[in-house]
Structure 1
Amino acid sequence: MKNINESSAPAVIGNNAIEISVLYICQTNLSIKPQLETLTTQKNLNGRVIIPAEFKAGKNILAVMEGRVQLLNSLGDRAEHNQEHQVA
């Protein structure tokens, strides 16, 4: 029998912080242009990333990536050319 005071939230291992980037589309905006945010969160005992409910509210999450990433192109946008990254 489950104790009423037990939390149904996934267990977290100590200070198991991880930086992630989340690609999402806002549910409240009619635009389909993806947004990207980076946040630091925790992993549960199974190694899955825990995304806070407050962050997920109002968003359709498309992808979760480890680390800080930079979105160069989405839905037909052209990637910006940067002189120091050009290939001859």
Structure 2
Amino acid sequence: MIQPLIKWLVRLQSVKLLCYMYCSLFILLLFFVTILFVGSMRDLAIPLLKILLQGIAIFGGVLFILYSTYYLLKGKRKQKRV
């Protein structure tokens, strides 16, 4: 299921999106490994996970808005040149 998605994103040359996905997965992996090895943090795991996921979502939303704006402005500049 993931491999076709990755192939499709590579074909679209969406390197930034792939980088965001891999970085997000790496951050989640680090979070769970930390929770696994630090036993005293188990009570805080759910609230910290909620904050972590919200932070990743906000970061992704900001990236989406910035790159969408850049894409739209870039397209308008090309149309003016023609």
Greater relative contact order (CA < 8 Å, ≥ 6 in sequence): 1
TM-score tier by shorter-chain length is: under 0.3
Identify the structure with the greater strand proportion: 1
Structure having the larger proportion of residues in helix: 2
The TM-score normalised by the length of structure 1 is 0.21
